[in-house]
Amino acid sequence: NAGVTQTPKFQVLKTGQSMTLQCAQDMNHEYMSWYRQDPGMGLRLIHYSVGAGITDQGEVPNGYNVSRSTTEDFPLRLLSAAPSQTSVYFCASIPSGTGKNGYTFGSGTRLTVV
């Protein structure tokens, strides 16, 4: 199994551009989440999904959109990139929401907005 796959690994955007960060998992996990990590900081939750068709906001949702049309995929869209969104983005998944299982994280997408 590939686990959680994030693409691209690196991306440079100009201010105002839009893009989609892809996240896919092949473990049939119900729950998926997006985090960002700024230099020297811990991870902050952006959005999460408890199943196909269901999403909710995390700690820092502004400037980001998500959708969950399938169990496998959970893309993160930047509508109009800003330098403040320069960060490393991590996607994570877990089988269900009871906390009984550990999360699996992707290897991250390093985004720079100039």
Partner 1 sequence: DAKTTQPNSMESNEEEPVHLPCNHSTISGTDYIHWYRQLPSQGPEYVIHGLTSNVNNRMASLAIAEDRKSSTLILHRATLRDAAVYYCILSYNQGGKLIFGQGTELSVKP
The residues that touch partner 1, with contacts defined as CB under 8 A, are 31-33, 35, 41-45, 48-50, 56, 58-59, 90, 92, 94, 96-108
Please give the Cα distance from 88 to 31 (Å, whole number): 21
State which residue, 23 or 78, has the beta carbon closest to partner 1. 23
Question: Please, what is the minimum distance in Å from the beta carbon of residue 78 to partner 1?
Answer: 19
State which residue, 8 or 16, has the beta carbon closest to partner 1. 8
Q: Tell me the sheet residues that pair with 11.
A: 111
* Residue bearing tokens 């997408």: 109
**What size, in residues, is the chain?**
114
